[in-house]
């Protein structure tokens, strides 16, 4: 059993370490484990460019990265919260180019429908629609 997509947000490294320890205790009660190889941390704020040392689980260091993927979005290390849309655009154009390469005999409405159904979702993933 796995606990995917767990996100911990903390104002300090000390609090983050405490949160990780608490989560690991609770995961142990559920017979689940934290995989340090798949765990990452990203720093956001004034100290975003400083190296992070000492966030551990079972004596193993949790990797500090410049960007991490969370629920399909890429969160960047920066002075403020930033999300990269690069990968979403790349997937859109890959899909579009795949359809366009085979579309020499498609009418415009058919092409629009294919783009709306197969390509647009890559751009609109995680967008709020009210």
Report if residue 8 sits inside a domain: no
122 and 92 in contact (C-beta within 8 Å)? yes
What's the chain's average pLDDT? Answer: 89
Q: How many domains does the chain have?
A: 2
Same domain for 29 and 55, yes or no, is yes
**Residue numbers of the domain that contains 62:** 13-84
Same domain, 77 and 100: no
Give SS3 for 6.
coil
The verdict on residue 26 lying in a domain is yes
Please give the pLDDT value at position 3.
58
Same domain, 58 and 112: no
Interval 1-57: pLDDT, tens? 455 678 899 999 999 999 999 999 998 998 888 888 889 999 999 999 888 877 989
Same domain, 101 and 116: yes
The three-state secondary structure class of 74 is strand
Same domain, 69 and 90: no
């Amino acid at each position: 059993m796995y606990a995917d997509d767990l996100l911990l947000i903390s104002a300090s490294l000390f609090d983050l370490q405490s949160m990780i320890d608490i989560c690991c205790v609770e995961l142990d009660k559920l017979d689940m484990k934290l995989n340090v190889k798949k765990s990452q941390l990203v720093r956001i704020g004034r100290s975003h460019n400083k190296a992070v040392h000492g966030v551990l689980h079972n004596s193993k260091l949790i990797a500090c990265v410049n960007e991490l993927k969370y629920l399909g979005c890429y969160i960047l290390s920066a002075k403020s919260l930033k999300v990269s849309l690069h990968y979403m655009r790349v997937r859109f154009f890959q899909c579009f180019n795949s359809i366009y390469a085979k579309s020499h005999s498609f009418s415009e409405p058919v092409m629009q429908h294919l783009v709306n159904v197969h390509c647009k979702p890559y751009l609109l993933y995680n967008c709020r629609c009210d």
